[in-house]
Amino acid sequence: MTILVTGGAGYIGSHTCVKLLEEGYDIIVVDNLVNSNEKAVGRIQELIGKIFPFYRLDVCDVDALRKVFQNHQIDCVIHFAGLKAVGESVSKPLEYYSNNLISTITLCKVMKEYGVTCFIFSSSATVYKPGSSMPVNETAELGCTNPYGWTKYMCEQILRDVALTNPDWSVVLLRYFNPIGAHESGQIGEDPTGIPNNLVPYITQTALGKLEKLYVFGNDYDTKDGTGVRDYIHVQDLAQGHVDAVNFASKTTGCEEINLGTGIGYSVLDIVSTFEKVNGVKVPYEISPRRPGDIGTVYADATKASRLLKWKAEKDLEDMCRDSWRWQKQNPNGYNT
Ligand code: NAD
Ligand code: WQD
């Protein structure tokens, strides 16, 4: 079975490529490298000892995409390609709407032309309306607070409509919670450009001494220690969830929204203390004001993934902290080390 992986040079895509290859799938990767490094593709090939086709192209470019479908018999598409920085999406809404929506629409059009009917989409817990009760399940009300979130919301709706009018299609909308961690080899991992926005890359760069200290955004939330609580999930578990989604989608039709989370919430200070403990390093921090747009607690009801995909997160917070640190230590400047 051959899977087209868009955004396969990125953080979650690269880990998923490794898992797919390990499980015997053939893959084709397309990525325009707007937020990634071609070296990630080389690392995947080294880890598995297998060469696969890589096309540097923009998924919004219909002609370039058609060539890929002409050259290869594709059975299923996993669509990771997209812009993902929440803050940047507020200052550049048109870039986010055009990239994330047009790439998804273009992909669907070309899939239709070539009779490919299996689509796995990278959605996000950010589509849930703030104020939902936790753990949040897939039937909760949707609503977003920033353009990035709306792009996921809109792509989900586009894909639901495509599945409705094309009854032979199988679409899985995977709503990820907070992916962290890295491949156990330390060879692939998250490589953010500039100062990280997300908690764990900020922690790893602080532990390395590249950043002076972590700013903990608020300690007055209604949580056990006042700091924000999230459902952190190991990127390797997330990657396995995609393989399971491909298996599921290849046997079914229709459209399913599925949370990928652990069902457990940890606070910012839980992450800091676990990271310090398992890695034997210090993470200096300072409590600072809340980050605008943040909410106190988000964690998943992951029972639907277990029921439909037979998937469950296997790794714990210690694994996540250990693996994130190994990647950062071995690659202090990411793929450009
Ligand atoms: P990433 O930025 O590391 O990977 C995305 C990849 O897509 C990058 O390699 C980028 O170069 C590529 N890309 C972007 N636009 C493209 C285009 N038009 N054509 C071709 N390639 C393009 O991000 P990630 O963390 O691996 O996230 C993967 C997907 O999962 C994204 O859609 C993201 O929105 C979604 N997601 C991520 C998180 C998270 O916290 N990391 C959470 C929920 C959902
Ligand atoms: C986690 C916790 C912060 C940084 C984002 C997107 C979401 C999804 C995943 C794509 C929060 C706190 C953070 C820092 C801190 N991405 N924090 N100091 O905001 O839960 O989710 O990534 O779909 O859409 O919004 O993740 O890692 O930024 O924050 O105290 O320097 O860490 O307040 O409680 P978030 P995060």
Distances from the Cα of 249 to the Cα of 43, 102, 153, 243, 272, angstroms: 28, 23, 21, 10, 38
Above pLDDT 70, what percent of the chain? 100
Instruction: Write the single-letter amino acid at 163.
Output: A
Mean pLDDT of the chain: 98
Q: Which residue's alpha carbon is nearest to atom 44 within ligand 1?
A: 124
Cβ distance 106 to 155 under 8 Å?
no
Cβ distance 226 to 219 under 8 Å?
yes
Distances from the Cα of 47 to the Cα of 22, 88, 187, 307, angstroms: 10, 33, 8, 32
pLDDT recorded at residue 33? 98
Q: Which of 17, 19, 31, 327 to mutate to test the pocket of ligand 1 (most atoms within 8 A of CB)?
A: 31
SS3 170: strand
Cβ–ligand 1 distance for 228 under 6 Å, the answer no
pTM value > 0.75: yes
Q: Each residue of 95-124: pLDDT tens digit?
A: 999 999 999 999 999 999 999 999 999 999
Cβ–ligand 1 distance for 189 under 6 Å, the answer no
pLDDT recorded at residue 329? 98
How close is the Cα of 230 to the center of ligand 2, in Å? 8
Report the pocket of ligand 2 as residue ranges, CB < 6 Å. Answer: 84, 86, 124, 126, 178, 197-199, 202, 214-217, 228, 230, 268, 291, 294
Cβ distance 244 to 23 under 8 Å?
no
Tracing tokens 């939330």 back to the chain, one arrives at: 221
The kind and range of the H/E element at 315 are none
Cβ distance 174 to 248 under 8 Å?
no
pLDDT recorded at residue 247? 98
Q: Each residue of 268-315: pLDDT tens digit?
A: 999 999 999 999 999 999 999 999 999 999 999 999 999 999 999 999
Is 176 marked active-site?
Answer: no
Mean pLDDT of 15-39: 98
Q: Which residue's alpha carbon is nearest to atom 30 within ligand 2?
A: 216
Closest CA to 261 of 136, 129, 157: 136
**pLDDT over 90 (residue 157):** yes
Phi/psi of residue 32, nearest 5 degrees: -95, 5
Cβ–ligand 1 distance for 256 under 6 Å, the answer no
What CATH homologous superfamily does 2-182+232-263+298-314 map to? Answer: NAD(P)-binding Rossmann-like Domain (3.40.50.720)
Catalytic residue among 11, 55, 96, 148: 148
Confidence band for 337, pLDDT divided at 50, 70 and 90: confident
Q: Give the pair of three-digit tokens for residue 125.
A: 């817990």
Cα 177 to Cα 277: distance, rounded to the nearest angstrom: 24
Q: Each residue of 172-200: pLDDT tens digit?
A: 999 999 999 999 999 999 999 999 999 99
Phi/psi of residue 292, nearest 5 degrees: -55, 135
Q: Which of 12, 77, 178 to mutate to test the pocket of ligand 1 (most atoms within 8 A of CB)?
A: 12
Q: Strand 266-267 relative to strand 229-230: parallel, antiparallel, unpaired?
A: antiparallel
